Amino acid sequence: MYKYRYKLKTNLKEADPDRIKFQEKRIAAFKQIEDRLNSLYPIIDNSKEETIAYYQENPSSYAVVTPTDLIMEYLDDIETLLKGKEWKPYKNNTH
């Protein structure tokens, strides 16, 4: 049975190079996502320092220096997508 599976995968790979390119591109996107997320750390630190400095200069202020609430909502959405709670097209995808 495993020999059949291997042959099937080989035949699919040979028969549909566009599908293979598509899948490779989708998998490679994870490295890009990781790189972008890692590049956010210094930006977050800088925004935090700017916020601290602003509030030290303006102690009575209620100004939003950086929209942390919105950022948290975006992060929640990203977590939801990655955990697959709401978006699972691959289950029914016939592409």
The DSSP secondary structure of 19-41, one letter per residue, reads HHHHHHHHHHHHHHHHHHHHHHH
pLDDT (tens digit per residue) in 21-38: 999 999 999 999 999 999
Q: Tell me, yes or no, whether 25 lies in a domain.
A: yes
Structural domain contains residue 92? no
- C-alpha–C-alpha distance, residues 53 and 67, integer Å: 16
Structural domain boundaries enclosing 15: 2-65
Residue 55 lies in a domain: yes
**Cβ pair 50, 44 in contact under 8 A:** no
- Residue 73: inside a domain, yes or no? no
Residue 9 placed within a domain = yes
Give the span between the Cα atoms of 87 and 53, in whole angstroms: 40
Number of domains in the chain: 1
- Report the distance separating Cα 81 and Cα 87, nearest Å: 6
Is 75 inside any structural domain? no
pLDDT at 85 over 90: no
Whether 60 is covered by a domain: the verdict is yes
**Residue 11: is its pLDDT beyond 80?**
no
